[in-house]
Each structure stands twice: as C-alpha cells, then as structure tokens.
Amino acid sequence: MKILFTTMAAALMATTAFTADSIPADLRAMALATFKALPSTTPAVVNNRITSEKIVLGKALFFDPRVSASSVFSCNSCHNLATGGDDNLETSIGHGWQKGPRNAPTALNAVFNIAQFWDGRAEDLKAQAKGPVQASVEMANTPGQVIATLKSMPQYVEWFSAAFAGDADPVTFDNFAKAIEAFEATLVTPAPFDAFLNGDDAAMTSKQKQGLTLFMEKGCSSCHAGTNVGGNGYYRFGIVEKPSVDVLPEKDKGRFAVTNKSDDLYVFRAAPLRNVALTAPYFHSGKVWDLKQAVAIMGTAQLGEALKEEEVDLIVAFLNSLTGTVPEVAYPLLPAETGGTPRPVLQILGK
C-alpha cells in the first residue's frame, strides 16, 4: 500500500509539475529583458528610406516572375506570403526544376534579422534580394537582363521614377533591391506574444506562459532572443551533441563557406521563431516536419538535455503564441510586356 501511495504521489507530481502556479509573477519583466515586441510602425532600414512609392514598386517586383530568366519564378515562389512566408518544401525548386541546397527561410519579419540567409552572407534585405536573381539554381538571371526587362515596360519606368525621383537613372539593380527591401519591411506579423509583452495578461494562455517560462529557464532564449525571437546571432548546430547527418548534412558546413574560419564549421544564424508553427519543415536541411520533434532535437543538440514530452508540449504551446497576423497583401496587377521585353529562356543566364 505504501508503494502504491508513493507511486501515485510521484505520478501526481509529474502531472502537476507545470501549473499556473509555476508561472513567475514577474514573467513579463523577465521576458522584456530578453525579447522585444514588434514595433507598431514599419521599421526603418539602413540607407533606404521607406516610402509608399517604394513599397508599391517593391510589391510588384516581389510578385513578378519575369525577373527570373525563365519568367517562372518570383520572390513569392520561395517566400510565399500565403504559406508563412516560405514554400513549405525541404529545399526550394528553382530554374530548370533544380533543387536548392537549403530550406527557404520565411520572409515575414525578416527585416529584424541581423543578416539574411542561413549563413548570414547578405548583410541586409537589399543584398539578399540580389542573390536569388543571380543564382543559377534559383532565378538564373543577370542584373543587366533584369534591368532590360523592367525598362521595356513603361509602367515600371514610371514606378521607379516615382520611387527614386532624385536619381538621374532610377531603374537600376540597386534600386530594384531597395524597392523589394521596402516592401519586405512591411511584412510584420504582430502576435499574441507581442500583446503580452505590451501588457495584456490575457493574450497568452496559461500553457503558453508556462512554455515561455521553460523556454527561458532551459536556455533556449540564449540563442532565440530579441525582436524576432532569433535571427540575431550565429551558433554551432550541435553545441553539445551533433545531430544525425540527415538533419545536419556534413557537406553543408554553414558559415564556414562565408568566412573560411574553422570556428564557423556548422555554424548557422539562429532561426527566427516568429510564425514557426507555419514554416515546416525545419532547420537548414528541411528534414524535420514536426515542430515537437524539432524542439526535442534542439534540446539534445544545443542544451544537452532530453526534454520531457510535457516540456516539449509546453514549449510548442509558447511557440504557437508567436503566430501573428500576416498583413493583407492583394496580388498586384503587373505591367504588361512590350515588343522590347526579353523573352523567357531555358538556359542559365546568371552565374
């Protein structure tokens, strides 16, 4: 009987280990020391004043497949705003149906990242916008061909002239990138977590608050912090225990390819976790489709701890509080081609 009571007591403790009583009274203050709520206005970006004219132009360019050599792929192809800002594929499909080497990160809230791409090789969204256009596995185009395409359509020339009124030649590849950056800066998704940080106690459920508590106590917030709950630092994937080769392919050495420093082997920018419930599959390899599994892998690989199922469930509950309201984006009507518009090609134009 004593053994029975002892077993029942242990089971009761296990089921009540995380309750509303375990939520710190100063949870909001603790969270504000680590995270930041999203701003209520479009954030400013360096060396690119955001204007309504740039946003209109950038939106059109974001959705226009004619910036690719084949006229098939647009920015929205891999960063679909209807599916969490990514394409929900392990790795993206590009020119000639080639498969890219890494999972496409979300474009939502990307303006808050310290740098762009998993390895941080683009310092900002302007630099990032230029990359896929010229990548042979993505849009396979050249800056010259892009500009020739845009200049062939009077409506685009008019939009560029309005957005970059002070420029002698407004239709340039740099301005192309600046316009896309301006539009992407508007892709901010306020979530229940932001409402909580701003003082609304009822914005998050008890389970989500318990998960937030665990997220900080376990050390997840050491890498996933700031406005974007990640995206603001570089860390080795497998600090404590190296994940399996399907999750961490040995041929992808991460930031090492950018810096050529041995300390950067298997180092990646910490994934921003806003809207993470919408952006499966996970990790740069895109091999994990279940969010609970991804959390468990991070526990062993980064924290050196096999998280209990209840702990994983609570952390996932917190992550769901990061699912925000995506701004309504009406599909733009794009300028019509003219006789001078370059025709789609199958060959790779970019490097």
- pLDDT tens figures, 283-292: 999 999 999 9
Give the pLDDT of residue 203: 98
Kindly state the tokens that stand for 92. 């993206």
CB 44 within 8 A of CB 112: no
H-state helical runs in the chain: 2-15, 27-32, 52-63, 75-78, 125-134, 143-151, 154-163, 173-184, 192-197, 206-217, 256-259, 291-298, 309-320
* d(C-alpha 331, C-alpha 135), whole Å: 25
* d(C-alpha 106, C-alpha 88), whole Å: 10
- Span 107-126, mean pLDDT? 98
CB 61 within 8 A of CB 176: yes
Q: What are phi and psi of 252, to 5 degrees?
A: -95, 100
Could you give the angle at the alpha carbon of 336 between the alpha carbons of 331 and 337, nearest 5°?
130
Catalytic residue, candidates 138, 181, 184, 311:
138
Closest among 326, 332, 312, 244 to 279, alpha carbons compared: 326
* d(C-alpha 245, C-alpha 262), whole Å: 19
CB 155 within 8 A of CB 269: no
Give the mean pLDDT of the chain: 94
CB 97 within 8 A of CB 170: no
pLDDT band at 51 (very low <50, low <70, confident <90, very high): very high
Buried b (16+ CB within 10 A) or exposed e, 158-188: ebbeebbeeeeebbbbebbbbbbbbbbbebb
- Span 218-239, mean pLDDT? 97
Condensed to tens digits (0 to 9), the pLDDT of residues 291-309 reads: 999 999 999 999 999 999 9
Q: Which helix (H) or strand (E) holds 268?
A: strand 267-269
Give the pLDDT of residue 17: 57
Integer angstrom CA distances of residue 279 from 21, 264, 301, 341:
32, 26, 21, 36
* pLDDT surpasses 80 at 234: yes
pLDDT band at 18 (very low <50, low <70, confident <90, very high): low
Give the pLDDT of residue 22: 82
User: How many CB atoms sit inside 10 A of residue 214's CB?
Assistant: 20
Active site residue 138: yes
User: DSSP states of 168-200 as a string?
Assistant: SS---HHHHHHHHHHHHTT-----HHHHHHTT-
Please state whether beta strands 234-236 and 267-269 pair in parallel, antiparallel, or not at all (unpaired). Answer: antiparallel
Kindly state the tokens that stand for 137. 């596995």
Give the pLDDT of residue 292: 98
Strand partners, 122: 116
Q: Residues with Cβ < 8 Å from 269, sequence gap 6 or more? A: 113, 114, 115, 117, 118, 119, 120, 231, 233, 234, 255
